[in-house]
Amino acid sequence: MAKIIVADDELSMRQFLEILLKKEGHEVVCAADGEEALSRFQTEPCDLLISDIKMAKMDGLELLRRVKERNPNMSVVMITAYASPEDAIAAMKSGAYDYLTKPFKLEEIKAVIRNALGKTGGQAVEAPAGIFNDIVGHSARMLQIYNLIKQVGGTKTNVLISGESGTGKELVARAIHQMSPRAEKPFVTINCSAIPDSLMESELFGHVKGAFTGAVASKKGLFEIAHGGTVFLDEIGDLSSIIQVKLLRVIQEREFMRVGETETVSVDVRILAATNRDLEREIIQGRFREDLFFRLNVVHLHLPPLRERRDDIPLLAQYFLEKYSRELEKNVRSISSYALDALMNYNFPGNVRELENIIERSVALESSNIILPESLVLSEYKKEGEKKGVPSIHLTPAGLDLEKELSQLEKDLIQQALQLSNGVIKKAAELLHVSFRAMRWKLQKYNLREFTEQMKE
């Protein structure tokens, strides 16, 4: 049970929230204005404050600021009947946990309160610094990601999550689901690159008995299983053109047909999709449908590679160290400064997933209570390429995606030019012998505009 202060100058809203919260098992204290709420907060310990923005004597934004001055960790949810982008931005900048517009749905406010208090449903749980819904990072780039997750979490909007392999796209999708009113409903993951084209339609939409050879019984598809919840389509760029058409219909009509059946099945799902490909280039080359892209890309959330958020490496390394010390029952407590320097100077082509594997291996093999540099197994050929300041590309018997590798090479060289020019775009363009206009297009293409701003800072 949590203790919650509700501040609203509208009696009916106070009564509504009081009844709702008490049914959820919480203790509720009501205040008719900001001054009364602040007085209650100063004299009675509480776990959550829910406040209207427009109130007499002291408005909600001033109450929020005063509360945060006294307790920066206090969770505050702002509500208003007069929504404006300015108020929302001011509330989030002042430290509000979330911002809701009246009238809100019952499940929406319940989900926000549950997440604000923590997953236990009891006393408020403060996550360790730098950890947000199992995502680890405290860099400026990651704090922006967390804010975006909060903003889109409570909506029904489809979200496209882009980023290189190993950057944590599925973790972000799960966080969005957990922040939504669908949190108690299924979260179904579909790896579009792992299912053969011949089986994909059946996996997504199900089939009836006898629909094809081997269909000995009827089977529900993953969309039907996820009804009421969220479908996460990982590596969406690998879908065949035929399945893209069928997926588009499901998004537009919210219904589909099982393989071998003529009747439609209605479904209520939110779709989150992820890709490590440049889907706009895939559209130009005829490999991805433009109409499907626009349906999926209502909100775009791009995850930066680990080499672009090096400030997070020490926190991530310590997080994985503690995790695998527990799991492997080892007494490895810290990482030596020399080992940490080696990690900070490594480019991590496999991103966070590679760092996790490196730390797990080091903990498993370490005989002392500290990780030393010789315990780290880093990719030697990649390190040699980094010493020369040029990304290294090697052709193996398994082959490679030439287009992807060349795009990465171009992006790395642009970043080097920006570093040499201290973020001045015109100078970076001159170093690469391209026009200023072409450089601006490439910065947009590779999501490097924030990178240039950080360089200037």
Give the pLDDT of residue 5.
93
Q: What is the pLDDT of residues 267-292, one digit of tens each?
A: 899 999 999 999 999 999 999 999 99
Domains 3-117 and 307-387 share a fold: no
Q: What is the pLDDT of residues 420-450, one digit of tens each?
A: 776 788 888 888 888 888 888 888 888 776 5
Residues 335-347 have a mean pLDDT of 86
Give the pLDDT of residue 269.
92
Give the pLDDT of residue 306.
95
Least confident of 39-48, 88-97, 104-113: 88-97
Q: CATH fold of 307-387, please?
A: Helicase, Ruva Protein; domain 3 (1.10.8)
**Does residue 454 register a pLDDT over 80?**
no
Give the pLDDT of residue 451.
54
Residues 312-317 have a mean pLDDT of 93
SS3 string, 314-358, reads: HHHHHHHHHHHHHHCCCCCCEECHHHHHHHHCCCCCCHHHHHHHH
Contact 146, 77 (CB under 8 A): no
CATH for 140-302?
3.40.50.300
**Does residue 126 register a pLDDT over 60?**
no
Give CA torsion, residues 418, 420, 421, 425, to 10 deg. -20
Give the pLDDT of residue 398.
62
- Non-local CB neighbours of 120 within 8 Å, separated by 6+ positions: none
- Non-local CB neighbours of 264 within 8 Å, separated by 6+ positions: 255, 256, 257
pTM, to two decimals: 0.57
Angle between helices 106-117 and 11-23 (to 10 degrees): 60
Higher pLDDT, 415 or 314: 314
At residue 49 the predicted structure's pLDDT band, cuts being 50, 70 and 90, is: very high
Burial (0-12, 13-18, 19+ Cβ within 10 Å), 367: exposed
Domains of the chain, by residue range, sit at 3-117, 140-302, 307-387, 402-456
**Alpha-carbon gap, residue 205 to 259, rounded angstroms:** 7
**Does residue 125 register a pLDDT over 50?**
no
Q: What is the pLDDT of residues 130-187, one digit of tens each?
A: 788 889 998 888 988 998 898 898 888 999 999 999 999 999 999 999 989 898 899 9
- Non-local CB neighbours of 228 within 8 Å, separated by 6+ positions: 182, 185, 186, 268, 269
Higher pLDDT, 85 or 2: 2
Give the pLDDT of residue 188.
92
At residue 127 the predicted structure's pLDDT band, cuts being 50, 70 and 90, is: very low
* Domain spanning 3-117, CATH architecture: 3-Layer(aba) Sandwich (3.40)
Closest CA to 316 of 162, 168, 125, 454: 168
> Which DSSP category does 297 fall into?
T
DSSP-assigned letters across all residues of 359-375: HHHHHHH--SSEE-GGG
Higher pLDDT, 30 or 199: 30
Higher pLDDT, 35 or 119: 35
**Alpha-carbon gap, residue 29 to 5, rounded angstroms:** 5
Q: What is the pLDDT of residues 357-416, one digit of tens each?
A: 999 999 998 877 888 887 888 864 343 344 444 455 656 556 677 877 788 888 888 888
**Does residue 350 register a pLDDT over 60?**
yes
